[in-house]
């Protein structure tokens, strides 16, 4: 990295596409900032250099303490500005401006020239700003609007009321992931899709380029420094497909994230990446990895932090959350109502920690036609950004959808997802309203607190019976047999606090909590038709105090106790 003074989150944010330290400039840190509650900034010429009266620390949202602002009130307009000088070595090359995530509608200007816009609050985007740059100082201006309360945009667990309440928490407005400049050759590889083939010991790579017509693309694979294979092909029409035959096969497995290193070269462009060799299948609602049935011991991870809200203060905190989960005996997570940053997913890849990718559909009314415009395009961007992470074993774009949903939208979303990614499992909507034929795994949410009652609800499924969802809402449907309890537990535990909430009556003692956790978990784990569970949740989040860790990440119980329960052999496991 070329720019380091006072730079929070200094690490390169895209570990599967690294062109080296001299190719990028981290823009995190202090930016000029302006609150724009009247949404009049563009009329007042903010994009043309009008003065800003505030500062903010990027990449933290304005609501967070780490941003230096900490204003949690609604604000539908924010502006950012940064002036910098580019390295001399970048002269004559393309320069891209990247934003890891910015909530929600973003416009970018460079030296007063409009570069473009992006719709969506959860995924990275970039603009080629080469033609707008000049010698000496250059100014980047970013204007953002965020209309969370309209019901027309995904907002996940962001509160639509002034205060946090229930399972809705502090909002995130504006930039909340790393911003950076990247220097690339005039002809470069823009994106890739990796298709591991363990039967043929091959990696198939689809590469999409800017320029490069007639140029040779070379892919070199290695494992622990040992060369494993080379493939070459020629770029035509901005696309290339290359196969790399591997000398030795090392499988990516749960708890053992074996990763190959990969170097991609095309002309002057060279980038470092990695991949995992694994095969995902789903049979009768059970997950198979490399031909072996794997019971998914998942935890609900919402990715909120007391000081950074959506953004972890440092890379170590991202890794620590995975380690905290694994210490309790979980082998993965539902990444819930938020799109997690690539660095987190990269750590999952390395640790063999399986995850489900979601979008943040809450706050979006999917009975309205706006759902097509404001959900589908960003969902496609999410899948494109994260396609190459072996830790992602399935997609579940929707959570607890409303009974009056637009069923055509849900079907179209399933079609788009399945056509884009034929390699992973798919769940149409976690819990509640399912549509027959759209899902690989039928899941359910049940926060019953009595282990005996919970086990009786699941009992009919052993013999092909049905699960009764009418206790929740008579309009909900369960068109197929569930094999995944994707939300359960949520047991309140905060004996030192009167405030806060969790599901059911709080246990009277630690022993009662552990007995309830054990009973509920074993009802799923030992069920012969169940293949997955997801406990709510990893940590407390603000007023929701049903985590296994507090909001500041202190364990409520000895992790070894939970681990002993969760790591018992499941009924479906050999």
- pLDDT tens, position by position, 305-328: 999 999 999 999 999 999 999 999
Tokens of 106: 């973003």
- Among 398, 419, 420, residue whose Cα is nearest residue 409: 398
| Residue 243, pLDDT above cutoff 90 | yes
Contacts with 341 (C-beta within 8 Å, 6 or more apart), sequence order: 13, 100, 101, 177, 318
3-class DSSP state for residue 279? coil
At residue 268, what are phi and psi to the nearest 5 degrees? -80, -5
| Cis amide bond preceding 218, omega within 30 | no
> Across the chain, what does the average pLDDT equal?
95
| Residue 4, pLDDT above cutoff 60 | no
| Residue 44, pLDDT above cutoff 80 | yes
Asked whether the beta carbons of 538 and 549 are under 8 A apart, the reply is yes
How many residues appear in the chain? 574
- Under the banding of pLDDT at 50, 70 and 90, the label for residue 481 is confident
Whole-angstrom distance, CA of residue 300 vs CA of residue 335? 7
Tokens of 487: 């939300």
Whole-angstrom distance, CA of residue 82 vs CA of residue 524? 53
3-class DSSP state for residue 240? strand
Percent of the chain residues topping a pLDDT of 70: 98
pTM (2 d.p.): 0.96
Tokens of 46: 């903010």
- Among 145, 143, 67, 77, residue whose Cα is nearest residue 110: 143
Whole-angstrom distance, CA of residue 333 vs CA of residue 354? 7
- What number of other Cβ atoms are within 10 A of residue 372's Cβ? 15
3-class DSSP state for residue 196? strand
Whole-angstrom distance, CA of residue 345 vs CA of residue 355? 8
Give the model confidence (pLDDT) of 56-103 as tens digits. 999 999 999 999 999 999 999 999 999 999 999 999 899 999 999 999
Residue 471, pLDDT score: 56
Residue recorded with tokens 């707008």: 132
- Sign for the CA dihedral angle at 537, 571, 347, 324 comes to positive
- Read off the pLDDT of each residue in 400-406 and give the average, rounded to a whole number: 89
Task: Specify the DSSP element, H or E, that contains 452.
Answer: helix 451-458
Whole-angstrom distance, CA of residue 464 vs CA of residue 483? 11
Contacts with 259 (C-beta within 8 Å, 6 or more apart), sequence order: 252, 274, 275, 276, 349, 350, 390
- Read off the pLDDT of each residue in 157-185 and give the average, rounded to a whole number: 97
Residue 474, pLDDT score: 58
Provide DSSP, 70-112: ---S--SEEEEEEEEE--GGGTTSEEEEEES-EESEEEEEETT
Residue 465, pLDDT score: 81
Long-range contacts of 372-378 (CB under 8 A, 24+ apart): 372/409, 372/412, 373/119, 374/119, 374/120, 374/152, 374/153, 374/154, 375/154, 375/409, 375/413, 376/412, 376/413, 376/416, 377/119, 377/120, 378/119, 378/120, 378/122, 378/123, 378/154
Residue 526, pLDDT score: 98
Give the model confidence (pLDDT) of 189-229 as tens digits. 999 999 999 999 999 999 999 999 999 999 999 999 999 99
Angle CA(313)–CA(315)–CA(317) in degrees, nearest 5? 65
- Read off the pLDDT of each residue in 129-138 and give the average, rounded to a whole number: 96
| Residue 436, pLDDT above cutoff 90 | no
- Under the banding of pLDDT at 50, 70 and 90, the label for residue 291 is very high
Residue ranges and CATH numbers for the domains of the chain are 29-177 (2.60.120.260), 188-278 (2.60.40.10), 294-566 (3.20.20.80)
| Residue 444, pLDDT above cutoff 70 | yes
């Amino acid at each position: 990295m070329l720019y380091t003074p006072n730079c929070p989150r200094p690490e390169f944010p895209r570990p599967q596409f690294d062109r080296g330290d001299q190719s990028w400039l981290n823009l995190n840190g202090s930016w000029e900032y302006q609150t724009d509650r009247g949404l009049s900034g563009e009329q007042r010429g903010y994009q043309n250099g009008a003065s800003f009266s505030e500062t903010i620390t990027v990449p933290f949202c304005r609501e967070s303490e780490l941003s230096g602002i900490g204003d949690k009130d609604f604000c539908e307009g924010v502006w950012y500005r940064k002036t910098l000088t580019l390295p001399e070595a970048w002269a004559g090359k393309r320069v891209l401006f990247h934003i890891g995530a910015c909530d929600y509608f973003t416009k970018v200007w460079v030296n007063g020239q409009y570069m473009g816009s992006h719709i969506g609050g959860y995924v990275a985007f970039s603009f080629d700003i080469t033609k707008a740059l000049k010698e000496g100082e250059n100014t980047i201006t970013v204007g953002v609007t965020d209309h969370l309360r309209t019901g027309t945009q995904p907002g996940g667990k962001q509160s639509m009321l002034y205060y946090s309440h229930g399972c809705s928490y502090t909002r995130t407005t504006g930039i909340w992931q790393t911003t950076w400049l990247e220097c690339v050759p005039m002809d470069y590889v823009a994106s890739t899709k990796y298709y591991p083939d363990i039967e043929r010991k091959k990696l198939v790579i689809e590469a999409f380029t800017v320029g490069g017509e007639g140029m040779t693309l070379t892919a070199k694979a290695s494992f622990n420094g040992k060369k494993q294979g080379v493939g070459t092909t020629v770029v035509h029409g901005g696309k290339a497909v290359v196969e790399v035959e591997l000398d030795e096969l090392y499988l990516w497995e749960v708890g053992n994230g074996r990763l190959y290193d990969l170097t991609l070269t095309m002309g002057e462009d060279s980038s470092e990446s990695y991949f995992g060799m694994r095969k995902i299948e789903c049979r009768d609602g059970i997950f198979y990895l490399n031909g072996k049935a794997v019971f998914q011991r998942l935890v609900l991870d919402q990715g909120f932090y007391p000081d950074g809200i959506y953004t972890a203060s440092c890379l170590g905190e991202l890794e620590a959350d995975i380690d905290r989960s694994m210490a309790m005996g979980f082998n993965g997570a539902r990444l819930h109502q938020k799109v997690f940053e690539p660095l987190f997913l990269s750590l999952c890849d390395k640790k063999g920690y399986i995850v489900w990718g979601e979008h943040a559909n809450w706050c979006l009314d999917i009975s309205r036609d706006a759902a097509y415009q404001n959900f589908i395009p960003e969902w496609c961007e999410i899948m494109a950004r994260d396609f190459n992470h072996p830790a992602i074993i399935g997609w579940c774009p929707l959570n607890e959808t409303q009974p009056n949903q637009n069923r055509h939208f849900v079907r179209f979303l399933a079609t788009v997802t399945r056509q884009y990614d034929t390699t992973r499992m798919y769940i149409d909507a976690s819990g509640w309203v399912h549509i027959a034929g759209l899902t690989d795994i039928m899941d359910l949410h049940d926060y019953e607190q009595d282990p005996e009652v919970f086990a009786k609800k699941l009992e009919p499924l052993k013999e092909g019976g049905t699960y009764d969802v009418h206790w929740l809402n008579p309009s909900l449907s369960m068109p197929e047999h569930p094999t995944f309890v994707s939300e359960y537990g949520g047991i309140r535990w905060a004996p030192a606090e009167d405030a806060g909430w969790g599901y059911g009556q709080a246990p009277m003692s630690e022993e009662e909590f552990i007995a309830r956790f054990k009973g509920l978990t074993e009802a799923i784990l030992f069920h012969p038709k169940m293949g997955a569970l997801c406990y709510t949740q990893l940590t407390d989040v603000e007023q929701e105090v049903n985590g296994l860790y507090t909001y500041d990440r202190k364990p409520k119980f000895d992790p070894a106790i939970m681990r002993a329960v969760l790591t018992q052999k499941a009924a479906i496991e050999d």
